[in-house]
Each structure stands twice: as C-alpha cells, then as structure tokens.
Amino acid sequence: MPNVTVIGAQWGDEGKGKVVDWLASRADIVVRFQGGHNAGHTLVVGSQQYKLSLVPSGVVRGKLSVIGNGVVVDPWAFLAELDRLAGQGLVVGPELLRLSDTATLILPMHGALDRAREAARGDGRIGTTGRGIGPAYEDKVARRAIRVADLAEPAVLEAKLDELLRHHNTLLAGLGAETYDKGTLLSELLAVAPRLLRFAEPVWRRLHEAKAAGRRILFEGAQAVMLDVDHGTYPYVTSSNTVAGAAAAGSGLGPDAVGRVLGIAKAYTTRVGSGPFPTELTDATGRHLGERGREFGTVTGRPRRCGWFDAVMVRQAVRLGGIQGLALTKLDVLDGIPELKVAVGYRINGQAFDHLPAGRQAQAAAEPVFETHEGWTQPTSGARSWAELPAPAIKYVKRIEELVGAPVTLLSTGADRDDTILMQDPFAA
Ligand code: GDP
Ligand code: IMO
Ligand code: MG
C-alpha cells in the first residue's frame, strides 16, 4: 500500500482539510510538512465543525498526527488551537500529536514585521495572512531561527534571541514599528516551553519506523501549487514549497515516502489576497459563487475572490506538483448556474499561451480563452454516488479530466464528511 500526499492544485482553500479527514480513516498517521497557521482547514462532521490551522486534520479521527520539520510553528497559536479543540471536546495530547524538534518557531516579531511590511507596500501588498510566515522562513534560511529543540536549552535560546533581535529590531525601527525586548521574550518562551516540549521529538525516527512497518502515511499539504514560492504567481505566493516533493524534505523521509499524489481542486476557482487571477469574476456570478460557496477565509475572514475553473492553471499544477489524481470539490456550488465557463488557454498581448508564463506583467495581462458548458438543474448537492449526478455535471467533470491531464478520483458535493464520492482509493492504487 502506498502512502498518499494531498496538495492544493489552485490558490488554496480547495477543501484539503475535508479530503484529508475523509482519507484519514484509511491512514495510520497524518503529517503536516510545510506552512504554518496561515492555513485554515474546515472539517464538518455532522453537527460539529472543526477549524484547524497547525494541527493535522487526522486528529479528528483520532489518528496519530505529526507536525514535521518543514512547518513553522507559532507556540502561542499552537497552544491556543489545542485549547480550542479541547473546548470542543477533542483533547489532543502527546499520545496523538508529535511535533518535530527541528521545526522553526514563529515569534511575535515575525508577525509584526509581516504586517509592517505589508502596510509599507500599500497598494502593492501581497495580502499575506499577517501571521509572520514569511519572516519566520527567512530566519530559517538565514540560519538564525529558533527551533523547537532550543526551548530545552535556555542558554542557547538567550544567545539566539540576541542575534534575532539585533536583526529584527533594526528592521522594525526602520519601518516605524515597535521593537522587542529580549528579557520579556525569553521569559515568555520559557513559560510555554514545557507545554511545547511535551510534544517534541525527532519525528523522522517515528516516521521511519512507521514506514518500515508498512504503516500508511497521509501527508497533508497546506496552501497550494500556485502559492508555491518557486512555482506560483511570485511574489504573490506563500514562503514555502507546497508541491508534493516538499513532503519528504519537510518530514524527514526520502522521496519514495511521498506515494500517490492527490491534488485538490474546486470545481471553480478562488483566491485570497492579491495577485493575478485570469478567470476572476467581479460580476453577479462571482458574487453568487462567493455566497453559495461561503467563500470567506478561514484564517482572516476576508472574502475570497471567485472565478471560473481554470484548466490551464490546474494542468500546470498537475505537472508541477506531480499530481496523479484529482479530488474535485464543491461541485454543488455550481448547481443551478445555467451556463458554465472553463478556461482552456490564455491570450497575453495578442499571443496564445497554453500555460501561465513567469513574467509578472505577462501574468497580470493573461486573458482567459473560455469554452462554455451546459449547467445542470437537478442538484448535485449532497450526492454520494456517481449515479446521482445529472448528465451535464458528469460531462463537466469528464471534460476537466481531459483538459488537466489527470483523472478525477474523488468528488465532493458538500461540506459534510460524507458528501463524498470515491471513484478510486488512492491508498489502493
Ligand atoms: P482547505 O484550506 O483546502 O482545507 O479548505 P478550507 O477549509 O479553507 O475551505 C474549504 C471550505 O469549503 C470549507 O468551509 C469546507 O467546509 C467547505 N467544503 C469542502 N468541500 C466542500 C464541498 O464539496 N461543497 C461545499 N459546499 N463546501 C465544501
Ligand atoms: P490553506 O491551507 C489560501 C495566501 C495569503 C496571501 C499569500 C501569502 O487554508 O489553503 P502568507 O501569510 O502565507 O505569507 O500569505 O498566501 N495564503 C492562503 N490562501 N489558503 C491558504 O491556506 C493560504 N495560506 C496563505 O492570502 O495571498
Ligand atoms: Mg483554507
């Protein structure tokens, strides 16, 4: 049985959390390998709704969950999320959740710097979640980051804070923002250290043993291919690699551990924050998708920009991400729309393109070439078998498969865990 890696195939919020929760019933371990609490994954299980940011979606099924070294962890956000879950009756202790001892910490100045830079950018802002994700990854690459294991070594922690504050206070002062005091930060970190260290371990060893014993590992991606720092719509991206290859480096396993790659895509497109969006709809149809799909950011509450399905972009994501099968979500949101459009190419300054080129001006100028599809009147909402789907919906799904070059192996027709149609089990593939 192979492992499975789930990644977003658009600009995030495709329903990764729902799909991971669903697949987790077939897995032994669920692993987050990149991103941080910029992610927001909503799971609906009957009358309960869980909103997860850092904690892998496997915890809801009581599956052993791991936060890998590639994740950036805000200690206070982490503990607050555990408290929130406990408030919902889901107590997550170290027997259920393990945290990599080499994961990078997000500290308060990272969020402050993120927000101060965004304010300084004005209209040119990226539209980040303001949670310090970018600055924390910068520190990691610059080799000055504080990592989980440092919490157990107060002398190291203090010395690292010196270096970190020399850097950050200079930047923050230059941006006219408040600076930070070492003594305060040190005592705040030491105060939360015991609670965090309960979860910490070299997770690569546990994962290695699980793999050797033939356990099924499910890797849960955050964000999406078009937000990947190398392959996405740079600079309007997040600060990590979101493609499936990142699952290995971000958890401490070899590339063969990645297994089957399942890309998640909505039956239309959404995006939060700034940046190019060729199929964006700013008209009544766009507003309809937003309302019907309840398209508000889980993390920031911002309304998501909405548009038609972009097959050019998803095909690019399929190739970049190594996606072997696609889970198509929110098909129900298209119910009742008389005519649907799908982008099959772009025109940029009069020239035809079969992909989104790298140039920032070219990306901004990309005009979609659409093909039109008949909508459906019989609802797909809540459908749990292929036989329940109206013919035009089946035709739409089949056309998407053809255009993006990957089979649709799972369909989602509602937010609830069970509003799911499985055509091919990725673990059995
Ligand atoms: P993620 O970040 O990829 O995990 O996605 P989010 O959880 O941020 O956003 C997806 C939203 O759509 C959540 O509120 C889900 O509950 C909801 N959702 C997921 N799948 C479906 C579906 O098939 N139909 C509908 N109507 N809602 C869905
Ligand atoms: P999930 O896992 C949608 C977007 C932000 C912004 C850009 C950079 O729920 O799909 P960052 O704070 O990461 O530096 O912001 O990336 N972004 C997301 N958009 N879903 C997400 O996560 C996102 N995480 C980051 O809106 O445009
Ligand atoms: Mg989300």
Q: Does the beta carbon of 12 sit less than 6 angstroms from any atom of ligand 2?
A: yes
Which of these, 274, 289, 197, lies nearest to 237 by C-alpha position?
A: 274
Mean pLDDT of 370-390: 97
> Ligand 1 pocket check: which of 34, 43, 330 to mutate, most ligand atoms within 8 Å of Cβ?
330
Say if residue 98's pLDDT is above 80: yes
In a domain, 118, yes or no: yes
Ion ligand 3 residues within 5 Å by Cβ: 13, 40, 298
> Three-state DSSP class for 201?
strand
> Three-state DSSP class for 367?
strand
Number of domains composing the chain? 2
Mean pLDDT of 208-236: 97
Any idea which residue has 């402050």 for tokens?
112
Domain boundary among 196, 212, 238: 196
Q: Does residue 263 share a domain with residue 192?
A: no
Nearest atom in ligand 1 to the alpha carbon of residue 333 is: 26
**Using omega within 30 degrees of 0 as the cis cutoff, is the peptide bond preceding 235 cis?**
yes
pLDDT of residue 227: 98
In a domain, 36, yes or no: no
pLDDT of residue 273: 94
pLDDT of residue 301: 86
Nearest atom in ligand 1 to the alpha carbon of residue 39 is: 2
- Is pTM beyond 0.75 here? yes
In a domain, 283, yes or no: yes
Mean pLDDT of 167-186: 97
> Three-state DSSP class for 171?
helix
> Distance from the CA of 127 to the center of ligand 3, in angstroms?
15
- For residue range 10-66, what is the model confidence (pLDDT) as tens digits? 999 999 999 999 999 999 999 999 999 999 999 999 999 999 999 999 999 999 999
243, 7 Cβ separation under 8 angstroms: yes
110 is catalytic: no
> Distance from the CA of 319 to the center of ligand 2, in angstroms?
21
Mean pLDDT of 364-371: 98
- For residue range 248-295, what is the model confidence (pLDDT) as tens digits? 999 999 999 999 999 999 999 999 999 999 999 999 999 999 999 999
Pick from 162-176, 288-302, 359-373: least confident: 288-302
Domain boundary among 166, 196, 226: 196
4's torsion region: left (phi>0), alpha (psi -120 to 50) or beta? Answer: beta
* Residue 74 to residues 12, 80, 106, 326, Cα–Cα distance (Å): 20, 10, 4, 31
Say if residue 378's pLDDT is above 70: yes
Please tell me the residue having the least CA distance from ligand 1 atom 18.
415
* Residue 199 to residues 74, 149, 194, Cα–Cα distance (Å): 14, 11, 9
Nearest atom in ligand 1 to the alpha carbon of residue 412 is: 23
> Distance from the CA of 351 to the center of ligand 2, in angstroms?
31
Mean pLDDT of the chain: 97
* CATH number of the structural domain spanning residue 405: 3.90.170.10
Range of the domain at 118: 104-196
Is 171 exposed, middle or buried (CB count within 10 Å of its CB: 0-12, 13-18, 19+)? middle
Return all residues near 64 (Cβ < 8 A) that are at least 6 apart: 28, 29, 30, 58, 96, 97, 98
Among candidate residues 41, 110, 168, 373, the one labeled active-site is 41
Say if residue 194's pLDDT is above 90: yes
pLDDT of residue 300: 82
256 is catalytic: no
Q: Does the beta carbon of 106 sit less than 6 angstroms from any atom of ligand 2?
A: no
Cα 409–414–418 angle (5° rounding)? Answer: 70
Q: Does residue 172 share a domain with residue 216?
A: no
Mean pLDDT of 70-93: 97
DSSP track, 312-339 = HHHHHHHHHHT--EEEEE-GGGGTT-SE
Band the pLDDT of 1: cuts 50, 70, 90: low
SS3 annotation, 6-36: EEECCCCCCCHHHHHHHHHCCCCEEEECCCC
